[in-house]
Amino acid sequence: MTNAAASPMVHARAPGKINVFLKVGAVLEDGYHEVATAYQAVSLYEDVRAYPADDFSVEFSGSIDTSGLAVDGSNLAIKAARALARKAGFRGGVRLDIEKNVPIAGGMGGGSADAAATLLACDALWGTEATREDLLGIAATLGADVPFSYTGGTAIGTGRGDRLSPALAKGQFHWVLALAEFGMSTPAVYSELDRHRERHAQDIFPAQLQPTVDANVLQALRAGDPAMLAESLHNDLQAPALHLAPGLARVLELGEANGALAGILSGSGPTVAFLVQDADNALELQVALSASRLHVVRATGPVHGARIIHD
């Protein structure tokens, strides 16, 4: 059994993500959909500070409203800490202070980043000496996006999105993110996709049972070419999300009318990610969208996954 370590506090950080490509196939036996996605980790971060404690607790702060977040055992960060404690035979607890900057229920994997950073922080705090494979194994049990939040960079995700293979990406991509004042439920958006397919009699043909990432996306990432990537951005969840939240269509139109190479909903939305040519274009678009009273931030990718921060 592992006993309490002497570390007074451990600080870990993990990034949010953008799905630059997301194709959705059939529903699997576990209720998840088969997907093929290209993830890019971007420079909006969740900061987790882990302190020794006898039980498990979490508090939130940050640049966004966190008042609606669960702080009980249903919180993904608490689940992550408890899962590691069980695996390691650790008998203590942890107090988690999480500074959130990734939109909540925004399609950018903020909760997954919390969980990934928590795994890394608790491993260091408790001295459990878990391997990378151990932590990725726990991450996969917590949610489809948690393993990528741990690894970061650029990767292809298959299965539920948790089977990862690294993808080569050259240079830096510049994004302008329009953050909504509301969140969207990922299960609700997937359900709307299923209803949309039923309404339009879109059968899932055998070729779609195991969807794949378009080769043009991989080529654009390898080339570090934002214009080429803009032509290949795709998200099967965008249409159902727009059906549930029609106002997002206007946001997409505004961005593309003000110089974005392309816009896409990230994951299940409602965050709209605009790809631009360079940092100057990012600033210009941020100013233009802010003038339309949108909450806008800039980000770049790819960035590293979860890591310890030495304060």
The one catalytic residue among 17, 23, 79, 100: 17
Residue 103 marked ligand-binding: yes
Residue 111 marked ligand-binding: yes
Residue 73 marked ligand-binding: no
Residue 110 marked ligand-binding: yes
Residue 159 marked ligand-binding: no
Residue 269 marked ligand-binding: no
Residue 16 marked ligand-binding: no
Concerning whether 17 is annotated as a catalytic residue, the answer is: yes
The neighbour count for residue 18, using CB atoms within 10 Å, is: 30
Where do we find the tokens 């570390």?
A: 7
Residue 183 marked ligand-binding: no
The one catalytic residue among 114, 123, 145, 162: 145
Residue 109 marked ligand-binding: yes
Q: How many residues does the chain have?
A: 311
Half-sphere exposure of 75 (CA within 13 A, CB side): 24
Half-sphere exposure of 261 (CA within 13 A, CB side): 20
Contacts of residue 215, defined as CB under 8 A and 6 or more positions apart, other chains included, come to none
Concerning whether 145 is annotated as a catalytic residue, the answer is: yes
User: Which of 189, 33, 28 lies closest to 107, judged by CA?
Assistant: 189
Distance CA 53, CA 118 (A): 14
Q: Which residues are annotated as a binding site for ATP?
A: 103-113
The catalytic residues are 17, 145
Q: Which residues are annotated as a binding site?
A: 103-113
